[in-house]
Chain A
Amino acid sequence: MTPAEEPGSRREDPAVGKLLRWYPRQWRERYGEEFLAMVEDTLDGRRPTMRLRLSVAWGGLRERGRQAAVDWKEAAKRHDVYGRRWMIYVIGFFVTTLPADFRASLPPARAWQATAALGALAAFAAFIGAAVVAGGLAALPAMVRFLRGGGWRTIRRRVAWAAGATAVAGGMLTGLVLASRSQTFAQLNESWAYLLGVIVTSLALMVAIGLWISAAVATARHLHLSPRVRAAQMMLGAVTSIAVSVMLAVNIIWWSAIQSSVLLLLLGTTGLAVLIPAATMKMRRAVRSGKRLRRTVTR
C-alpha cells in the first residue's frame, strides 16, 4: 500500500497527481508523496493555479536537466558514450546551419575548397555513423538479454521522451529547410527571423540529442558487457570523439570557403593541426585503458 492509499491521506484532485509527471522517476520515488502533500496543503482543496503549475513545471524540468547532467558525468567516467557533450551539442547547431549553407553560391576560387570540405564532412559523418552502429552491434546480445528480461519497462519512458523531442526537432528542421528554399543565402544571412529559427531549432536538437544520450546511458547501466566489448566500446568512443572534432574543424573550413574568410580558414586549419597530437594521445589512452581493463579481468 502506498502512503497515498493509506487511511486518512488525501488525493481528491487528479490534476494535483499529474503535476508530478514533470519530475524524473527517481525524484518522484524519493520526494513524490511529500511533495504532493505539500501541494495539497498549499491548495487547501482548490484547483492548481497557473502560477503553481508553472512553478512545478519549471522545478521538474530543472530536475530532469540535473538528472541528465548526473547521467552524463557517470557516462564520462564509464567511457560508454560516444564523444564529448559539448561536441555533440555543437553538432546540433551545425546541422541547423546546413540549410542556409547549401544555398550559398561559392566564389569560383574557393569552389574546390568547399567541395573538398563537404566531401570530408560526408565521409566523417558516414564513419561516425558506422562506429555508432558497430558499438550498438557489439552491445546487441546484452541488449537483447536486457529486453527479454523485461528491461523495456525501465527505459520506455526515456525513449518516448527522446523520440518525442526528436519528432519536434525534426519538424522544426524541416520547417527551416522549407523556409530556406524561398530565399537566397544573402537574405537568409541577414534575416533575424531565420536566425531565431536556427537558434530555436538548435536548442530543440540539443535537447533531443541529450535525451537520447540520457536514454542510452540509462540502458547501458543495466547491460552486462564483457571486458572485451567494453574495451572495444572505449576504442570506438575515442575514435568517434576524434572524428567529431575533425568534423568541427572541417566545417569551419567549409564556412571559410562560403564566406571567403581568411580568418575562418586559419581557425579551421589551426584546429586540424592541434587535433593531430591530441588525437594521438587520446587513442593511446584508450588503448591503454582497454588493455588495463582486460588484464584486470583475466587476473
Chain B
Amino acid sequence: MAPNRQPAGLRRPNDPPLLILVSLADGPKHGHALAKDIEGFAGVKLGPGALYGAITRLEERGLIEPLGSDDRRRPYRITSSGSAALAGALADMRRVAKAGLARLGLDGSLA
C-alpha cells in the first residue's frame, strides 16, 4: 500500500516542522530548548532562521500553539491536530522503514 501524502514539512525525517512536533510531543518547550532537544535526539542543528520559519508555519496550520509566558522565551505546545499529523507522518515513515528492513532481512529491528 502506498503511504499517505503528508503535508509539506512532515514528509522527511529531517524536516524542521516534523522535528519540532517530535520534540514537543513530550511537553512544551521554547525556541532554544527545542533546538537543543532536536540536536540531542536527531543530531540536526537547526539555526534560528530555520527553527522560527518552521514554528511560524506550524502555528499558522494550528499544529502547535504558544503558551502564555512572563519571560521573553515563549514556550509552545503541540495541539491535538498536531499530534494527529505527527502520528500520521511517523506511521508512514515506519511503514517505509519496515519494508526496507524486511527486504534487508532485518525484520525484527523495528518494534
Interface residues of A (CB under 8 A from B): 3-4, 9, 27, 31, 33-39, 41-42, 51-52, 55-60, 62-63
Contact = CB atoms under 8 A, between A and B. Distances in A.
Interface residues of B, number: 17
A60 B72 contact: no
B32 interface: yes
A289 B73 CA distance: 48
Contacts of B48: 35, 38-39, 42, 52, 55-56, 59
Contacts of A31: 52, 55-56
Contacts, number: 61
B50 A59 contact: yes
Interface string B24-61: 00000011100100000000000111111101100000
B94 interface: no
B47 A35 contact: no
Contacts of A9: 72
* Chain B interface SS verdict (over half): helix
Given A35-B48, A52-B48, A55-B47, A4 B53 contact: no
B74 interface: yes
A33 B32 CA distance: 13
Which 5 A-B pairs give the minimum distances between C-beta atoms?
A59-B49, A55-B47, A38-B31, A41-B32, A37-B72
Given A52-B48, A56-B49, A59-B47, 5 more contacts: A3-B72, A35-B48, A38-B35, A57-B49, A59-B50
Contacts of A35: 31, 48, 52
B10 to A, nearest CB: 18
Contacts of A27: 56
A35 B56 CA distance: 11
B22 to A, nearest CB: 18
Contacts of B56: 27, 31, 63
A3 B72 CA distance: 6
